[in-house]
Structure 1
């Protein structure tokens, strides 16, 4: 069975199925049938608008986000496709705090549901800092298929590494 770093915490039977699909050059085809095309969100402005729309729909009372952008420096070596930062600065006598969300630039070529899953994940960090039960409940509230989309994103990354990307 091949080394599957994005699926390391999944069961042996799932990793075996994915290895079989990779060996038959069919993983990209499976994902291509499930997700028809890439999204149209290419600029930081479009990502900002997209994220703010989700935030205003599900998290109206959450603190504002100062910056939302694609970041080509985010890599999976750091185990991150998105990054939520809470930056505190002292300005005079006041402590100013700003939230920033950065999404990996490689998600510009992903299907929209997979981008939405990462954005939802980062938005959930506005309320829950840790990856705990409340965090994942909030993610599932904003995106009911959250866990399936996370798995599919891991499959897509596996397919890309094996040169079987459907897009």
Structure 2
């Protein structure tokens, strides 16, 4: 039985399907058919622009992130596919707040819908801090297939790990 740490919490019948595809060596091909190719967002500057375009379309009144970048320190097994951090600093007599969005570097090689799902997730934190119903409604507003993309992304991570182990 293949351990699937990225898919913990999903129903057993889905996990069995993913395990069977991994065992037959077909998961990568299934995902490649559904999500062909890589995206063109390879630099931090391009990622910033990509995030800014999505933010402008769906969250016009939310603050613009001060920094957006790919981060080598993000580790998917530890649960960090991306982060949104808020930094408060005192400048003179004022309190200035900035936020940063960091996306795991492995998403440079991911299909564009997976990158978009991570970006949508992190942008949703600009308005909703907790992973509650309102948060996921906002994610689905920005990306209607959010939940399917999240599952497929986790399956993709499981496939990458299985490939690396073999």
Q: Which runs of 5+ in 1 are unaligned?
A: none
CA distance in 2, matches of 1:28, 1:76: 18
CA distance in 2, matches of 1:152, 1:34: 9
TM-score between both structures, scaled by the size of structure 2: 0.97
Which residues in structure 2 correspond to 1:79-98 (within 5 Å)?
A: 79-98=79-98
Kindly state the Cα deviation for residue 28 of structure 1 after the two structures are TM-superposed. 0.5
CA distance in 1, matches of 2:49, 2:128: 22
Q: Which runs of 5+ in 2 are unaligned?
A: none
Question: What residue is the counterpart of 2:27 in the other structure?
Answer: 27
Question: What residue is the counterpart of 1:123 in the other structure?
Answer: 123
Q: Does the 8 Å contact 2:6/2:77 carry over to 1?
A: no
Q: After the TM superposition, which of the residue ranges 155-164 and 38-47 deviates more from structure 2?
A: 155-164
Kindly state the Cα deviation for residue 76 of structure 1 after the two structures are TM-superposed. 1.7
Instruction: Give the paired residue count.
Output: 164
Which residues in structure 2 correspond to 1:10-25 (within 5 Å)?
A: 10-25=10-25
Displaced runs of 4 or more, over 6 A: none
Q: Deviations over 1:34-65 (max 9, x none)?
A: 01101011000000000000000000000121
Q: After the TM superposition, which of the residue ranges 6-15 and 132-141 deviates more from structure 2?
A: 6-15
CA distance in 2, matches of 1:9, 1:20: 18
CA distance in 1, matches of 2:107, 2:90: 34
Kindly state the Cα deviation for residue 78 of structure 1 after the two structures are TM-superposed. 2.7
Which residues in structure 2 correspond to 1:71-150 (within 5 Å)?
A: 71-150=71-150
Question: What residue is the counterpart of 2:41 in the other structure?
Answer: 41
Q: Deviations over 1:1-25 (max 9, x none)?
A: 2211011101111111111111100
Kindly state the Cα deviation for residue 73 of structure 1 after the two structures are TM-superposed. 0.8
3-state DSSP of counterpart to 2:123: helix
TM-score between both structures, scaled by the size of structure 1: 0.96
3-state DSSP of counterpart to 2:88: strand
CA distance in 2, matches of 1:22, 1:10: 17
CA distance in 1, matches of 2:114, 2:27: 16
